[in-house]
Chain A
Amino acid sequence: MSVDTVKQPNWFSRLAHPGQFLAWSRYLVWPLAIATLLSFAVGLWFAFLNSPEDYQMGDMVRVMYVHVPNAWLSQLVYGVMAVSALGTLVWRHPLADVANKAAAPLGAVFTALALYTGALWGRPTWGTFWEWDGRMTSTLVLLLIYLGIIALWRAFDDQLKAGRIIAIVTLVGALNIPIIKFSVDWWNTLHQPASVFTASGPKMPVSILTPLLVMMLAFTLLFALLQVIRMRTEILRRRAETLSRQAALQGASR
Chain B
Amino acid sequence: MIGEGAHIEFIAWAYIGVTVLTVALVAYVVWDSFRVDARLKALDKAGIRRRSDESKR
Contact = CB atoms under 8 A, between A and B. Distances in A.
Describe A's contact surface by its main secondary structure. helix
Contacts, number: 95
Interface residues of B, number: 31
Describe B's contact surface by its main secondary structure. helix
Nearest to B25: A109
B46 to A, nearest CB: 8
Given A109-B25, A243-B48, A60 B7 contact: yes
Contacts of B14: 63, 66-67, 116-117, 120-121
B35 to A, nearest CB: 8
B6 A58 contact: yes
Contact of A236 (B10, B25, B37): B37
A60 B15 CA distance: 12
Given A49-B2, A226-B29, A233-B33, A113 B18 contact: yes
Nearest to A63: B14
Contacts of B13: 120
Contacts of A53: 3, 5
Contact of A239 (B6, B7, B30, B40): B40
A182 interface: no
Contacts of A236: 36-37, 40
A109 B24 CA distance: 10
Contacts of B48: 243-244, 246-247
A13 interface: no
Among all A-B residue pairs, the 9 with the closest Cβ atoms: A124-B7, A233-B33, A247-B48, A120-B14, A63-B14, A66-B18, A117-B14, A240-B39, A120-B10
